[in-house]
Amino acid sequence: MSQEIILTGDRPTGPLHLGHYVGSLCNRIRLQDTYKQFVMIADVQALTDNYETPDKVRKNVLEVALDYLAVGINPNKSTIFIQSMIPEIAELTVFYLNLVTVARLRRNPTVKTEIAQKGYGEHLTAGFLMYPVSQAADITVVKGAIVPVGEDQLPMIEQTNEIVRAFNRIYNTDVLKEAKALIPKVARLSGIDGKAKMSKSLGNAIFLSDSADVVAKKVMQMYTDPDHIRVEDPGKIEGNVVFSYLDIFDTDQDEVQKLKEHYQRGGLGDVKVKRRLADVLNTFLDPIRTKRAQLACDPQVVMDIVLEGTRQTRLVAQQTMHEVRKAMHLDY
């Protein structure tokens, strides 16, 4: 087992979807065998744009935990924990806030996009603007060296490392370690509408917990080639969501290649390809759904797993805070 530590997480604002799977879950499942891995349910971060609906966040902590366990994040290999139960993260965030300018936070590309999308204007809260600082605390409180995330999170890791360097320089220490993002090889999964990003808030997601019928329905709505009107027409593969999903999920890539050629030549209807994709996705999701349904029968067992992970994480976080306080001459 490598000494390097992985820290990663998700906001509990809804159940996880196929984009999460392709973007980070599959890396986490693979890496848990070789690394010490912490997987965080980021309820504090979820509150930065859901502070008025804490019950929604609360409910989704369980949903995300169910998704983790159902896809194969194994609690004997990975430590799953709840962010708000680690007060050391909040403490570290306060110390880090001195090392970051408001101007720098405003330039963070991910935050900038989100502020624009949500139309915050003058109502932008301090909490939302500074969530990358809190994310730096998430990562460094367990000395995370590797962070498996989707590519939209790259600016967060960059900002984390700026804080790490500033901290180590100013307090003349090497307590904190820089982190590396681990981005999947597969390009990110587009939404069913063809938008670049699959996201719950854009309403274009297929959830890991969707029933087979819902999956089939969503596949039937998928964006294909708007100029492919009659079956005989030649169709385009580029930008065609159905084919981009087959590229990722179909285990018979020779057949996919044949379908692509047929589609481009003309004579292959969208519905036929979509039926294949619905089958492919449901074959992939069936075991996940079954496991999820079993786990959902006994939520207390799931919460106990998460609480035990939280207890273990807290021990690591306390040790880091001890070192941080010493470096900052706060070890009274």
Residue range at the interface with ligand TRP (CB under 6 A); choices 113-121, 131-139, 270-278, 300-308? 131-139
Q: Answer yes or no whether residue 65 interacts with ligand TRP by CB under 6 A.
A: no
* Residue 204 binds ligand TRP (CB under 6 A): no
- Is residue 78 within 8 Å of residue 146, measured between CB atoms? no
How far, in Å, CA of 64 to CA of 12, rounded? 6
Stretch that binds ligand TRP, among 6-14, 28-36, 58-66, 282-290 (CB under 6 A): 6-14
Q: Does 139 bind ligand TRP (CB under 6 A)?
A: yes
According to the binding rule CB under 6 A, does residue 17 interact with ligand TRP? no
Give bridge partners of residue 148 from the DSSP assignment.
182
- What is the torsional sign of CA 45, 147, 77, 27? positive
Tokens of 114: 């989100």
Q: Which of 5, 31, 39, 42 binds ligand TRP (CB under 6 A)?
A: 42
Q: Which stretch binds ligand TRP (CB under 6 A): 98-106, 146-154, 216-224, 311-319?
A: 146-154
Distance of closest approach, residue 155 Cβ to ligand TRP, in angstroms: 10
Binding to ligand TRP (CB under 6 A) within 147-186 occurs at 147, 149, 153
Quick check: 11 binds ligand TRP (CB under 6 A)?
yes
Q: Does 305 bind ligand TRP (CB under 6 A)?
A: no
| Smallest distance, ligand TRP to C-beta of residue 41, A | 9
Binding site for ligand TRP (CB under 6 A): 7-11, 40, 42, 45, 135, 138-139, 147, 149, 153
